[in-house]
Chain A
Amino acid sequence: MAKHVEKGPGREAALLLLPALAQAARLKHLLANCGIEAELLRPPQCLGPHGCSFSLRLNSSQLQQALRVAKAGEVQVDALFQETAPGQYHPIDGVNGGGV
């Protein structure tokens, strides 16, 4: 089972939304190969049309590297969110609404 990504000051989590389970599991596998731990989970339904998909939750500090890994692995990331409090997310500006 996936471990929860550590949280705390300076360790905020980012949420990557993916089209479906297969994409999320694939990216999790690719990230693990790069030493990036990510938790596979369903995103909150309140994230609108992206709510009914799968997501990966990881430390914000590893977000850019994770996006590079996704691109290299041809895994489509639909949207990005920053976790501001447990279960609360805000879109990361300039990247959502058209794929990442």
Chain B
Amino acid sequence: MIYLDNAATSLPKAPGVADAVRNCLENLGANPGRGSYQAALASAEMVEDCREKMADLIGVANPLNLIFTHNATESLNLAIKGFLKPGDHVIISALEHNAVWRPLKKLEQQGVSLTVAPADEWGRIELANLSGCITPQTRLLVATHASNVTGVLNPVQALGQWTKDQGIRFLVDASQTAGCYPLNVARINADMVAFSGHKGLLGPAGVGVLYLNKDIRLETLLEGGTGSQSELPYMPEEPPGRYESGTLNTPGIAGLRAALTYLAAEGVENIHRHINTLSLQLRHGLRKISGARLMPLPRNASEGGVVSFVIPGLDCQAAAHVLDTEHGIACRAGLHCAPLAHQALGTLDTGTIRFSVGAFNTVADVEAALVAVKNLL
């Protein structure tokens, strides 16, 4: 199999991840933060070391501002539902995933108002026209860092500065960039950043992360045991425990910790360069195939590993099926859980075929994919 669905999840995982998960299950798997026997403390220290490594990777000064969840969707739900109240107004980009869109549509039914920001031809927020969206009730801007449909990047650094100037908060969905694009939370002026551990971070599924600026207090999404301050009838105030009710996914965190060790040694910049080279090769090759129509990207853009295209007259799901069964190419087709983006790109009715390259793809993988696409025509 040639795996080109890294935007859904990375495959393979980083070296050491599977061993770390197995070691946790077999040797280390006591519940962290509950008991005080040696094995429980060792498990707890592993979890906190993972938090430290994550903070180092994304430029967070205090790891206590990183919350472990079970996936990016939970992180986004926590940020959105924990922050917004009835009467509030929120602005989002036209590239948002359903993990942002659906929680907000639910909140809309409860009195939160929502504006989709004006988009340029690539779906990015048009900063020049953003001021027209703001109202006295606006409290939050939500923007994906990179689209999971086309890979195009929102200008998060400029957007972060804009939110500061406006006195509102900024939530970034970094699900497509964390681990495979140099990301520094402080540099982009983000108040909250949500992402998963199993995509660019190369860890196992089942761990998500939310960075939370220290001066933001969210309402909790879940209430329950935290292993601390058990005498209190309400959730403790201090992050991260306030937002981490119930047993953490310790084996998943052990795997993520191993992945972070790998990423620190390899360098995210180097991985990004590799992914960018392969995506450019894919785009260049697809452009030369008459009959394939690439989703547009800005000129000279250095984007993520996502390359989306359509073949007019050929159903994208049927094409993906043939790519899989006849050529061994694993890719995704359809709307990619991002109907807003397809609306902006004009592909809501057709969907797209999406190749997404990752840290372990090769030039040969890309060449094989291009040959397979040619054979579809």
Contacts and interface: CB of A to CB of B under 8 A. Distances in A.
Interface string B50-67: 011000000000111000
B155 interface: no
A22 B41 contact: no
B229 A25 contact: no
Interface in A1-41: 1-2, 19-23, 25-26, 28-29, 40-41
A20 B226 contact: yes
B294 interface: no
A21 B49 CA distance: 12
For the complex of A and B, 7 pairs with smallest distance between CB atoms:
A25-B48, A42-B36, A20-B228, A21-B33, A20-B241, A52-B230, A19-B238
B42 A22 contact: no
A14 B241 CA distance: 25
Contact of A20 (B36, B51, B238): B238
Contacts of B49: 25, 29
B41 to A, nearest CB: 6
A1 B62 contact: no
A19 B62 contact: no
A44 to B, nearest CB: 11
A16 to B, nearest CB: 14
A17 B240 CA distance: 17
B247 to A, nearest CB: 13
A62 interface: no
Interface residues of B, number: 27
A67 interface: no
A45 B45 CA distance: 22
Interface of B: 32-33, 36, 38, 41-42, 44-45, 47-49, 51-52, 62-64, 214, 226-231, 236, 238, 240-241
Contacts of B51: 22, 26
Given A40-B45, A74-B64, A22 B36 contact: no
B42 to A, nearest CB: 6
A61 to B, nearest CB: 24
B115 to A, nearest CB: 35
A54 interface: yes
Q: Give chain A's interface residue range (CB within 8 Å of chain B).
A: 20 to 34
Nearest to B41: A40
Contacts, number: 70
B45 A25 contact: yes
A60 interface: no
B260 to A, nearest CB: 15
Given A20-B229, A40-B45, A53-B228, 8 more contacts: A1-B42, A19-B238, A19-B241, A20-B227, A21-B33, A22-B63, A52-B228, A74-B64
B240 A22 contact: yes
A41 B36 CA distance: 6
Nearest to B228: A20
B236 A20 contact: yes
A54 B44 CA distance: 11
Interface in A71-88: 73-76
A26 B41 CA distance: 13
Interface-central residue, A21, A28, A49, A53, by most chain B CB under 10 Å? A21
Contacts of B44: 21, 25, 40
A7 B51 CA distance: 32
Contacts of A41: 36, 41
Contacts of A76: 238
Nearest to A1: B38
A29 B38 CA distance: 17
A82 B45 CA distance: 25
13 contacts: A1-B41, A2-B41, A19-B228, A20-B226, A21-B32, A21-B241, A23-B64, A26-B63, A28-B45, A40-B44, A49-B231, A52-B229, A54-B228
Contacts of B230: 52
Contact of A74 (B214, B227, B236, B240): B214
Contacts of B229: 19-20, 49, 52-53
